[in-house]
């Protein structure tokens, strides 16, 4: 956002600027064309051919000017022909217009990339266990040993270490029990990946260390041989967000190889020892892995498909998987082969049998059947069992080959790759619930409920949705939803002009994002789950570093905690410094960006890009003007005010906050003016003064509730809400009448999306 | 990697041909455009714990010499064999002789100080330089005429499952040891995994297309369009697979013996499987550089199949006066010489693809060791025996140098492979450049 120089002429409709004296295109059409071509170009008795085609506006204008009206061609002015061409092109003629006019419907969708990866992880996880996240046990289990061996008899201390960040100097960690020249430590537990992507893990130590992530057999970092002066070891690994991964870190301050300690008469001199365990979450700076992402509970191994997929289409604002490409199909082939190889390599564990066992074939067949069932998210029909299992076992020379083929076949089948959007069986309901809330496949309780007929009523579906919402996979999906809602899912570049904000380091920017995420999580998962807190809460999460920057008194090394920061001036996300900084320039605030942000995300209004790129007025050219005055000057022309009349005031309400979201009373020696009016849908202007008052005015308008319902539905379901009949109005009504409870809304969205079409028909379908 | 009992069947029973064009599954080409010039190849074979010099080195110097007992298996290749006596590993610094023996053998550079304690001397870490095979590989990979799919292949036999100075000989750079692959099935998967994948894919495509038709029939006309589009991609994949099969260029895929576990007593089988895979990868020009590391420095193979029940390293410490041990150590090294001879024989019987003669005419196998002699732990007179004509050395000779640093031999190898290095490893030991008298 910061780097965008487009601003200015946001047009609300499809008609372009009225730059010449032409008549309005719609009026011309109505007057001169509709009588033959129909009100919407559908044609008439004499002229049944609908007005649709592939001509450009220019081609269309020339054609119209030359040939229309049919009884008197050439009588339309060129300008009129142009404006009518523009009108029909945008209203119904062009392919885009037709697409826009098509009634929304629930479309067959393939798995999104995230769904594919999660589904494969959970199919395999269903045989070996799926980790759950226990946030009540932060940190890692640590065991300290008095020499180089990890023997119980040599263990001198067991405790929980919140993070791994130690500098012992030349001392021992447990001086009374350990000699300083030789000791070893093992940390155990899990690490939670907050999002999907490439993670870099970093171990810093002067001594030997080994780090295991996910795979308990193969270290991700093996620095057990200390060699030369290296003290920093890095490795990257692709992790799926919303899952705990097993983590083990071993440290040794000892010589390896031949144990010559008994031959030595004197104890060697103790060298300095320290260790730090850090990571780089995708798109963030390196940091010590925080305790909140660590748990002392171990996790089963997760199979993460390494194959790269082409990115999903997000052009409509949410991931929509209703198109495919050859590249995607090839990726599914690669990923299926990768998975098949993984399965076959661990067949003994997956099938619970040994290669030479009597019942090997039987066990493999049973495993394969379950694998295919889980991939298809339901029991197999006889026909499917025959095709996907029996035939493979009958034609492959050995059961192992049959497994490889069956896994490949199942993962390439449309029965796995597509989600039935309207199937009526209980298993279809279960599959949709799992896709909506987890982007994955049903777990055992859900499959059991389906099998036992316990997904028949709305209450039963709701009960499952409520249960599933507590899973870390749901939390992760909801967090992504909220970041999407706030238009910061892709972390924006927050670097600021060092002349003005020298202390605004990348670490501060990264901490701000954490602060925002903690707040979002707190609102959704905390007491009441009240949406209104998003807009009105007067506290903020700060750690020591942020507290210093924003002028709050906290110890420098304090972890994140909720504190009051200018409570009389701040209001939830509206004034969260991360967003204020994201929607600002490097040196100055940007009321326009902030106004557009509020319009689009909080109010859910659609704005189009201005047809012309306009460079912002440089502050230097108007040294006396405040930001507000400068923006008012730039957008004063009448053609700007259509949109900016609505956008700018929202941003003016936040002028108390500079480009890094710090509170200010004045700018350039002039008092901040944060008084403005909110233009509601009825065209009335509701006055407000500053962020808190703005938040209340917005809430009172009712627009944020509707916008949030849309956002939740689209981010979770990935289908147009308009296709679900009265669901939108029903959800909004429920949401507002239930104290804007977010968790209840999420559950209701899942219920609507998962219910069978017959259930939905009962919801007074107006389509 | 699992070891199914049916691997041989698996390869035979799948319908598609063994090799194919690259466009399916992004397989790099099996046939390269770089086949015009002569293809020179290098194999470095390692066995541990020194040798019994009297049974290893010919007494004579020059082209008339007699093979000792432990190298007798090289007799059929005597006229293309070269003994290089008097080449010494002069690299010193941290680490005991076994550690430096293997770590400096191909790098010619010191070990870094570190935390790995040997049986004597100071602890050490990894080698501080690249190994000569990787140096030549990098040189080859930079040039289209010598570039191959893998560049180099690192084979192992019964290498312990631990990474330390004693188990690593090959380095891609300072502090960057490369683990040899000692599981032939893993090596097979590396070489032929994609071919195998295509076969599996080919076996389900008909069923998959049927499945698409069935599912298409169950959805609405509007949704069917998406599935139909998807099905065309599946059909395209089938066509590509079929074309690649038709275009098969006739590279035979080896058939590793199934179900061989990593176990001391399987060393002979694993050795044979690895050598067969190596020869095959040369015939397919997958690589022109290979290393073959038996066990590790201080390796403890128990060659029970020769009637030797003791561990190799343990035996190697026994004094020269212990005739039984000397006899056993001679047997052990004779077994290694047999492996070299098997490799040489396989190379000799494999015609040079697209060229004349056999692979052995263009391949040099260098057999070496981390020590000159086991019980003295000397790094003087490191065993270096060359078989085959890949380096264009003048073969069929026994050369006796006067304590030349082995860095100079490493330079000679690079020169023989067409990479004219001036220095390699510690420059102090590169004095007069490549060894004289070799070609």
pLDDT tens per residue, range A719-743: 999 899 889 999 999 999 999 999 9
Q: Tell whether A308 lies on the interface with B, counting CB pairs under 8 A.
A: no
Which residue out of A414, A720, A757 would a mutagenesis test of the B interface target, given it has the greatest number of B Cβ atoms within 10 Å?
A: A414
Q: How does pLDDT run across B370-383, given as a tens digit for each residue? A: 999 999 999 999 99
* Set of chain B residues whose Cβ sits within 8 Å of the Cβ of A344: 2
Query: Any chain B CB within 8 A of the CB of A311?
Result: no
The answer to whether the Cβ–Cβ distance between B229 and A324 falls below 8 Å is: yes
In this predicted structure, what is the pLDDT of residue B89?
97
For residue B31, pLDDT beyond 60: no
Stretch A584-609: mean pLDDT: 90
List the single best residue of B10, B183, B198, B204 to mutate versus A (max A Cβ within 10 A). B204
A225·B165 Cβ contact <8 A: yes
Residue A356 to residue B115, Cβ atoms within 8 A: no
User: Taking a C-beta distance cutoff of 8 angstroms, is the pair B411, B424 a contact?
Assistant: yes
Of residues A192 and A104, more confidence is placed in: A192
CB–CB contact A387 B210 (8 Å) = yes
Give the per-residue pLDDT at A543. Answer: 96
In the stretch 206-225 of chain A, residues with CB closer than 8 A to chain B read: 207-208, 222, 224-225
Q: Does A156 touch chain B (CB under 8 A)?
A: no
List the single best residue of B194, B226, B258 to mutate versus A (max A Cβ within 10 A).
B226
Stretch among A48-57, A77-86, A114-123 having the lowest mean pLDDT:
A48-57
Nearest to B119 among A258, A348, A356 (CB): A258
Backbone angles phi, psi at B230, to 5 degrees: -60, -45
The two beta strands, B363-368 and B41-46, are parallel
| pLDDT over 60 (residue A762) | no
The residues that bridge with B400 in the sheet, in sequence order, are B85
Please say whether the beta carbons of B372 and B380 come within 8 A.
Answer: yes
Write out chain A residues lying below 8 Å of B236, CB-based: 326
| Residue of chain B minimizing CA distance to A346 | B2
Q: Is A341 on the interface with B (CB under 8 A)?
A: yes
Q: Which among B117, B174, B207 has the least Cβ separation from residue A258? A: B117
In sequence order, what E strands does B68-215 have?
A: 81-88, 111-117, 124-127, 151-157, 170-173, 176-178
DSSP A547-562: HHHHT----TTPPPEE
pLDDT-derived band at B252 (thresholds 50, 70, 90) equals low
Region B398-414: mean pLDDT is 97
DSSP designation for B31: S
CB B87: neighbour CB atoms within 10 A?
25
Helix (H, G, I), strand (E, B) or coil at A398: coil
Above 80 in pLDDT, residue A446? yes
DSSP E strands, B314-408: 363-368, 384-387, 397-405
Question: What pLDDT sits at residue B6?
Answer: 33
What confidence tens digit (pLDDT) does each residue in B151-182 have?
999 999 999 999 999 999 999 999 999 999 99
- Pick from B4, B126, B200: CB nearest A227: B126
Could you say which of A323, A396, A412 has the minimum Cβ distance to residue B208?
A412
Task: List pLDDT tens digits, range A177-226.
Answer: 999 999 999 999 999 999 899 999 999 999 999 999 999 999 999 999 99
Give the angle B221-B225-B228 at the CA atoms, nearest 5°: 120
pLDDT band at B245 (very low <50, low <70, confident <90, very high): low
Residue window 466-525, chain A: list those with CB within 8 Å of chain B. Answer: none
Residue in B10, B111, B193 closest to A401 by CB: B10
Is A761 at the interface with chain B, CB within 8 A? no
State the best of B96, B178, B195, B200 to mutate against chain A, taking most chain A CBs within 10 Å: B200
Output the pLDDT for position B227: 94
Tell if the CB–CB gap between B215 and A418 is shorter than 8 Å: yes
Contact B226 A324 (CB under 8 A): yes
Q: CA-nearest residue of chain B to A342?
A: B1
Best residue in B174, B223, B258, B298 to probe A by mutation, most A CBs within 10 Å? Answer: B223
Render pLDDT for B334-388 as a digit per residue (tens, 0 to 9). Answer: 999 999 999 999 999 999 988 889 999 999 999 999 999 999 999 999 999 999 9
Query: What is the pLDDT at residue A26?
Result: 84
* Partner-chain contact A260 B236, CB within 8 Å: no
Partnered with residue A686 across adjacent β-strands are A678
Confidence of residue B240 (pLDDT cuts 50, 70, 90): confident
Q: Determine the Cα–Cα distance for residues B421 and B419; give it in Å rounded to an integer.
A: 6
Contacts of A222 in chain B (CB under 8 A): 163
**Using a CB-CB distance cutoff of 8 angstroms, which residues of chain B are in contact with residue A258?**
117-119
The helix/strand/coil state of A540 is strand
Split at pLDDT 50, 70, 90, the class of A13 is: very low
Across the interface, do B6 and A415 touch by the CB < 8 Å criterion? no
Half-sphere exposure of residue A555: CA atoms within 13 angstroms, side-chain side: 5
Could you say which of B14, B164, B208 has the minimum Cβ distance to residue A257?
B164
Q: What is the mean pLDDT of chain B?
A: 89
What is the pLDDT confidence band of residue A763, given thresholds at 50, 70 and 90? Answer: very low
Question: How many percent of chain A have pLDDT more than 90?
Answer: 69
> Which of the two residues, A137 and B21, has the higher pLDDT score?
A137
Report pLDDT for B35: 61
- Tell me the shortest Cα–Cα distance from B303 to chain A, in angstroms: 24
pLDDT tops 60 at residue B307: yes
Residue-wise pLDDT tens digits, A659-669? 999 999 999 99
* Contact partners, residue A666, CB within 8 Å, separation at least 6: A672
Whole-angstrom distance, CA of residue A335 vs CA of residue A304:
10
In percent, how much of chain B has pLDDT > 70? 90
Q: Do B226 and A398 make contact, defined as CB atoms within 8 angstroms? A: no
Nearest-by-Cβ selection for B204 from A110, A347, A405: A405
Most confidently predicted of A82-96, A555-569, A751-765, B189-203: A555-569
Q: Is pLDDT at A2 greater than 80 in this prediction? A: no
- By CA distance, what is B222's nearest residue in A? A107
B345 min Cα distance to partner chain A (Å): 34
Residues in A 642-701 with any Cβ partner in B closer than 8 A: none
pLDDT at A320: 84
Residue A330 CA to residue B241 CA, distance in Å, equals 13
What would the DSSP string read from start to end of A250-278?
Answer: EEEES-EES--TTT-SSPPPPPPEEEEEE
> Considering CB atoms only, which of A333, A408, A413 is closest to B237?
A333
B27–chain A nearest CA distance, Å: 12
More confident residue, B2 or A430: A430
pTM for this predicted structure: 0.84
Q: Are B153 and B290 in contact (CB under 8 A)?
A: yes
Residue pair B144/B123 in contact by the 8 Å Cβ criterion: no
Chain B residue whose CA is closest to A105: B222
Q: What is the pLDDT of residue A343?
A: 96
Confidence check: pLDDT of B2 > 50: no
Tell me which residue in B5, B175, B215 faces A415 most closely, judged by beta carbons.
Answer: B215
SS3 B431: coil
Q: Enumerate the residues of chain B whose CB falls inside 8 A of the CB of residue A255.
A: 115-117, 123
What's the gap in Å between the CA of A609 and the closest CA on chain B? 31
Name the band, by pLDDT with cuts 50, 70 and 90, for residue A611. Answer: low
Q: Which chain A residues have a beta carbon less than 8 Å from that of B114?
A: 225-228
Q: What pLDDT shows up at residue B34? A: 55
Instruction: Considering only the beta carbons, identify the residue of B5, B111, B230 that sits closest to A355.
Output: B5
Residue A349: is it exposed, middle or buried by C-beta count within 10 angstroms (0-12/13-18/19+)?
exposed
């Amino acid at each position: 956002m910061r780097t965008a120089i487009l601003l200015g002429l946001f047009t609300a409709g499809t008609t372009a600027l009225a730059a010449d004296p032409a008549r309005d295109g719609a009026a011309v059409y109505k007057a001169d064309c509709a009588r033959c071509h129909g009100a919407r170009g559908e044609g008439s008795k004499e002229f049944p051919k609908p007005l649709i085609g592939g001509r450009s506006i220019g081609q269309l204008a020339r054609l119209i000017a030359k040939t229309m009206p049919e009884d008197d061609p050439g009588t339309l002015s060129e300008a009129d022909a142009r404006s009518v061409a523009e009108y029909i092109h945008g209203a119904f003629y062009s392919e885009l217009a037709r697409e826009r006019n098509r009634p929304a419907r629930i479309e067959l969708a393939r798995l999104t990339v995230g769904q594919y990866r999660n589904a494969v992880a959970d199919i395999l996880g269903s045989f070996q266990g799926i980790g759950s996240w226990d946030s009540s046990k932060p940190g890692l289990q640590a065991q300290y040993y008095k020499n180089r061996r990890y023997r119980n008899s040599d263990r001198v201390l067991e405790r929980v270490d919140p993070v791994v960040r130690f500098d012992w100097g030349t001392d021992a960690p447990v001086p009374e029990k350990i000699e300083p020249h030789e000791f070893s430590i093992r940390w155990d537990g899990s690490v939670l990946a907050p999002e999907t992507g490439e993670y870099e893990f970093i171990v810093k130590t002067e001594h030997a260390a080994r780090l295991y992530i996910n795979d308990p057999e193969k270290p991700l970092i093996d620095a057990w041989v200390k060699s030369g002066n290296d003290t920093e070891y890095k490795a990257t690994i692709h992790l799926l967000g919303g899952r705990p991964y097993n983590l083990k870190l071993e440290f040794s301050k000892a010589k390896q190889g031949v144990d010559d300690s008994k031959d030595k008469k004197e104890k060697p001199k103790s060298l300095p020892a320290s260790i730090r365990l850090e990571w780089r979450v995708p798109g963030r700076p390196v940091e010590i892995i925080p305790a909140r992402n660590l748990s002392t509970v171990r996790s089963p191994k997760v199979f993460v498909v390494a194959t790269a997929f082409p990115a999903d289409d997000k052009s409509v604002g949410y991931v929509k998987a209703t198109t495919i490409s050859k590249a995607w199909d090839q990726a599914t082939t690669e990923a299926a082969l990768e998975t098949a190889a993984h399965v076959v390599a661990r067949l003994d564990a997956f099938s619970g049998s040994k290669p030479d066992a009597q019942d090997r074939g039987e066990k493999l067949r049973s495993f394969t059947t379950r694998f295919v069932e889980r991939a298809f998210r339901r029991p197999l029909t006889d026909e499917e069992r025959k095709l996907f299992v029996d035939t493979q076992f009958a034609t492959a020379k050995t059961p192992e080959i049959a497994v490889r083929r069956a896994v490949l076949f199942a993962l390439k089948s449309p029965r796995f790759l597509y989600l039935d959007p309207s199937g009526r069986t209980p298993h279809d309901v279960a599959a949709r619930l799992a896709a909506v809330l987890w982007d994955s496949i049903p777990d055992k309780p859900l499959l059991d409920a389906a099998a036992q007929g316990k997904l028949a009523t709305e209450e039963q579906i709701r009960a499952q949705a409520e249960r599933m919402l507590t899973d870390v996979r749901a939390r992760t999906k909801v967090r992504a939803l909220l970041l999407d809602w706030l238009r910061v899912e892709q972390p924006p570049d927050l670097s600021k002009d060092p002349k003005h904000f020298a202390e605004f380091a990348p670490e501060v920017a990264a901490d701000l994002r954490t602060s925002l995420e903690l707040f979002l999580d707190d609102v959704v998962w905390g007491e009441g789950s009240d949406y209104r807190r998003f807009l009105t809460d007067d506290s903020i999460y700060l750690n020591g570093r942020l507290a210093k920057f924003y002028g709050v008194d906290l110890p420098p090394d304090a972890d994140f905690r909720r504190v009051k920061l200018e409570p009389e001036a701040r209001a939830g996300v509206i004034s969260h410094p991360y967003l204020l900084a994201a929607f600002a320039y490097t040196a100055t605030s940007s009321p326009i960006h902030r106004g557009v942000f509020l319009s689009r995300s909080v109010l859910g209004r659609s704005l189009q890009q201005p047809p012309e790129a306009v460079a912002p007025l440089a502050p230097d050219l108007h040294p006396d003007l405040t930001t507000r005055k400068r923006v008012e000057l730039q957008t004063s022309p009448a053609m700007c005010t259509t949109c900016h009349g609505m956008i700018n005031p929202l941003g003016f309400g936040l002028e108390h906050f500079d480009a890094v979201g710090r509170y200010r009373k004045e700018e350039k020696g002039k008092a901040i003016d944060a008084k403005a009016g909110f233009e509601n849908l009825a065209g009335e202007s509701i006055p407000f003064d500053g962020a808190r008052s703005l938040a209340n005015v917005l809430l009172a308008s009712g627009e944020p509730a509707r916008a949030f319902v849309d956002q939740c539905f689209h981010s979770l379901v990935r289908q147009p809400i308009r296709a679900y009949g009265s669901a939108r109005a029903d959800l909004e009504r429920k949401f507002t009448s239930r104290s804007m409870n977010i968790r209840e809304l999420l559950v209701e969205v899942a219920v609507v999306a998962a219910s069978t079409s017959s259930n939905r028909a009962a919801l007074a379908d107006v389509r | 990697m699992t070891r199914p009992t049916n691997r041989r069947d698996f390869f035979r029973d799948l319908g598609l041909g063994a090799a194919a064009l690259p466009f399916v599954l992004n397989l790099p080409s099996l046939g390269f455009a770089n086949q015009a010039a002569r293809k020179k190849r290098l194999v470095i074979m390692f066995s541990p714990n020194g040798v019994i010099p009297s049974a290893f080195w010919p007494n004579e110097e020059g082209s008339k010499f007699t093979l000792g007992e432990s190298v007798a298996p090289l007799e059929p290749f005597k006229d293309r064999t070269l003994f290089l006596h008097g080449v010494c590993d002069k690299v010193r610094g941290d680490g005991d002789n076994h550690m430096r023996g293997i770590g400096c053998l191909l790098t010619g550079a010191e070990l870094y100080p570190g935390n790995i304690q040997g049986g004597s001397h100071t602890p050490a870490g990894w080698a501080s330089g690249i190994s000569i095979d990787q140096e030549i590989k990098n040189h080859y990979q930079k040039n289209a005429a010598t570039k191959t799919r893998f560049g180099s292949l690192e084979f192992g036999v019964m290498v312990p499952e631990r990474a330390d100075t004693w188990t690593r000989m090959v380095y891609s750079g300072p502090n960057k040891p490369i683990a040899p692959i000692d599981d032939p099935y893993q090596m097979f998967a590396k070489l032929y995994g994609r071919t195998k994948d295509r076969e599996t894919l080919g076996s389900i495509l008909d069923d998959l297309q049927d499945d698409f038709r069935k599912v298409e029939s169950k959805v609405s006309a509007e949704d069917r369009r998406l599935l139909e589009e998807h099905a065309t991609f599946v059909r395209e994949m089938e066509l590509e697979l079929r074309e690649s099969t038709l275009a098969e260029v006739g590279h035979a895929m080896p058939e590793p013996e199934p179900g061989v576990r990593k176990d001391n007593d399987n060393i002979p089988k694993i050795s044979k499987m690895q050598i067969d895979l190596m020869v095959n990868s040369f015939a397919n020009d997958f690589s022109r550089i290979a290393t073959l590391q038996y066990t590790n420095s201080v390796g403890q193979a128990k060659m029970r199949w020769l009637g030797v029940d003791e561990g190799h390293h343990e035996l190697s410490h026994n004094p020269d006066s212990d005739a039984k041990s000397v006899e056993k150590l001679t047997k052990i090294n004779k077994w290694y010489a047999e492996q070299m001879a098997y490799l040489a024989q396989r190379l000799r019987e494999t015609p040079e693809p697209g060229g004349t003669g056999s692979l052995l005419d263009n391949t040099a196998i260098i057999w070496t060791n981390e020590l000159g002699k086991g019980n003295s732990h000397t790094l003087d007179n490191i065993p270096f025996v060359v078989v085959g004509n890949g380096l264009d050395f003048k073969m069929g000779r026994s050369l006796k140098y006067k304590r030349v640093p082995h860095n100079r031999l490493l330079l000679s190898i690079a020169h023989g492979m067409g990479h004219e290095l001036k220095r390699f490893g510690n420059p102090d030991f590169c004095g007069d450049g490549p060894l004289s008298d070799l070609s």
